[in-house]
Structure 1
Amino acid sequence: MNPTIKDVAKKANVSIATVSRVLNNLTGYSDKTRQKVLRTIEEMGYQPNMIARGLISKRTQTIGVLFPNVSSSFSSALLHGIEEFAYNHNYSVVVCNTDEDGKRTLKCLQVLREKQVDGIVFASEQLKDEYYKVLAATGIPVVLVSSETDHPGIPYVKVDDRAAAYDATEYLIQKGHRRIAMIGGTESDPLAGVPRVEGYMKALTDNGIPFQEDYVVYGDFGFDSGCAAMEELLSRSLDITAIFAASDEMAIGVLSVAVRLGIRIPEDISVIGYDNVKLAEMVAPPLTTVNQPLSEMGSTACEKLIDMIETGLIAQHTIAPHHIVERQTVRTLD
C-alpha cells in the first residue's frame, strides 16, 4: 500500500499541514524541518496524489503553454525557463503547438480548458480578440511572453523590440557601417516583425543615413527564410557592408548562403542577429547578436502566472533587458 501524507507526517514527527507546505514550496517552517520532511518522503517513496489534491484545492497543478513553433530554438529557450520554474513549484506543463499564424490556437485553447489547466502562458503570438473572448469566458489566468496586449488583466513579459533593433543597427553604425541591409521577420507581424524594422529605420534616420526600401527584405524568422532573404539581397546587387537579421535563425541562414557562395563573414559582409539562442555561439564564425534573456523571460512569465493562480491578483507587465553580445561576425570598417 502506498504511503499517505499522514504517514509521512507521523514518521517525520510534524503536522500534515507542514508536509503539505513543504510539498508546495510554501513558507512557515525551518530548513531543518524541510530537510527532514524531504528525507522522509524519499525514504518512504511517497508520491502526492495529484487528483486528490486537485479535488481539495480545485486545481490540477498544471499550466498550459501555447507556442506557434515548438521546435524553434527560440521556443525551446523560453520553454526551458517555464518548465524549470513550474517544476520547482510543483506544477506540470502541457505544451500546445498552435502552428504558423495560429491556425490551431482556438483548438488548443479548447483542449487546455478540457484538461482544466490552472493557467496559460501564451507565447510569441498576438492575442487576437477571438482568443481573448474565449479566455475571458473561462476565467483562466493568462500571462503573455514575447508578446503584448492592451486587453485588461493580462500581464506580459517581453523586451522592447524597437529599442533592441535600434541598438543593433546603431552598433553597426558605430562600427563604421552605413550601407546596412535588414532581413525583417514576418512583414505583417505587429509583435516583432514591424517593431524591429521600425527600430532599424529610426537608427538610420537618427544617424543621418537615408532609409532605402530595397535594403529591406522579409522572412518568417526561420532558417530557410534567412537563406532565401540573403539570396534576394544578393540578387539586387546592393553595395552593402552589413546585414541586421531580425532573428538568429535567419542570421544563420545568411551565414550558410555566404559560405556556399564564398562570401567571407565578416571580411566581406558583417552580420548581426537577434535573440542569442544557443546556436548563435555554435556556428562558425560565432554570431554577434542581440541578447534577449529567453529562459529568464519564460521563468518570469511562469512565476507571474503561478502567483496569479494562487493569489487571484493581477501581475504587472515586465520589460526584460537586452544587450549586444559581441562575437565574430561584425568587423570595424577603416
Structure 2
Amino acid sequence: YSLFKQRHIPILSINAKYEELNLPYIAIDDIKSGHLATKYLIDKGHDNIALITKIDDNQGKLRMKGYFNAFENNHKVFKGEYIYTYDTESKDSVLNQFIQHVKDKQINISAVVCYNDQIAYYIMKNLEKIGVSVPEDISIVGEDNSVLSKLDDIKLTTTSHPQELLGEKAANWMLKTIETGKMQPSELIDTYIIERNSVK
C-alpha cells in the first residue's frame, strides 16, 4: 500500500475501511448495519440478544460497535456472556460452542444478531437439529442480504448490502481519480433492514 501511495498510483479499499492504513474507501456503513439489526430485535421486544461476530476484520468490529450502540441508545444493558467472537481459525468451534450453550441452557436468549447471513444460516440450521425453532424459540437477524437469506422456508431478516452499487461507485471513483489526478473522497453507503420471517 505504501509503495502504491509513494508512486501516486490510485488505491481504493472496497467494502471495508481500515483505520490503520489511512486509505480512501467505499463501504457499507457497518456500524449502522449492526445497530439496525440489534435495534430491530429490541423494537420487537427482545432484551436477551446474543451477538456472534468476527473480530479479525474491521467489518466485524464495526458491527459489534453498532450492537453496543443499539443497547446504549435504548437504555438497555447487554450481557457479556451473550457475545461470541471468532477469528478465521476459530469460527467452527465458536459457532458449535454457541449451539451447545443453547442446547445446555447455559444462555437464556430469545434472539441473536449474526455477523453475516452465512453465520445466521448456519446457526438456524443447527438450532433446528437440536429442536430449537426459528423464530418461535429464537429469532435471528443476519447482515448482508446474501443469497443464503432466501434459501430456506425461513427467510432471514437481514440488512441491505448493494454489491452492484459498491462496484459501480468504486469504478466511478477510480475513473474520476485518474481523470482529475486528485484522490476522490471516501464514501459510506447507507443500509436498511430487510424484513422477512426469521424474527418473532
TM range (shorter): 0.7 to 0.9
User: What are the Cα deviations for residues 100-153 of structure 1, in whole angstroms up to 9, with x where unaligned?
Assistant: xxxxxxxxxxxxxxxxxxxxxxxxxxxxxxxx312223432111112224556x
Q: Does 1:269 align with 2:127?
A: no
| Contact 1:162–1:199 under 8 Å retained in 2 | yes
CA distance in 1, matches of 2:85, 2:126: 16
**Superposed, which structure 2 residues align to 1:287-298 within 5 Å?**
287-298=156-167
% identity of equivalent residues: 29
Counterpart Cα distance in 1 of 2:101 and 2:116: 16
Structure 1-normalised TM-score?
0.54
2:30 alignment partner, one of 132, 143, 161: 161
Change over 3 Å in CA distance of 1:240–1:326 after alignment to 2:
same
Q: Using structure 2 for the length normalisation, give the TM-score.
A: 0.88
Flag the structure with more relative contact order, 1 or 2, with Cα contacts below 8 A and sequence separation at least 6: 2
Tell me the C-alpha RMSD between the 2 structures: 2.3
The amino acid across from 1:246 in the alignment is Y
Counterpart CA distance in 1 for 2:59 and 2:184 is 23
1:214–1:206: structure 2 CA closer, same or farther, 3 Å change rule?
Answer: same
Length, aligned pairs only: 197
2:108 to 224, 230, 239: 239
Instruction: Confirm or deny: 8 A CA contact 1:226 1:249 kept in the other structure.
Output: no
Q: How many angstroms does 1:230 deviate by?
A: 3.3
Match of 2:176 in 1: 307
**Gap runs ≥5 in structure 2:** none
User: Relative to 1, partners in 2 of residues 1:295 and 1:229: Cα closer, same or farther, differing over 3 Å?
Assistant: farther
Range 217-226 or range 159-168, more displaced: 217-226
Specify the alignment match of 1:285 in structure 2.
154
Tell me which of 193, 214, 218 is aligned to 2:85: 218
CA apart distance, 1:156: 1.1
C-alpha distance in 1 between matches for 2:114 and 2:101: 12
Of the three residues 38, 46, 51, the one matched with 1:182 is: 51
1:205 to 54, 72, 76: 72
Superposition deviation, residue 219 in structure 1: 3.0
State the one-letter code of the partner of 1:294. Answer: Q
Q: Distance in 1 between matches of 2:77 and 2:131?
A: 30
CA offsets 1:278-314 (integer angstroms, 9 cap, x no match)? 2211233111001121221122112211222233221
Which residue is equivalent to 1:21? none
Instruction: Sort the Cα spacing of 1:180 and 1:289 in 2 relative to 1 into closer, same or farther, 3 A.
Output: same
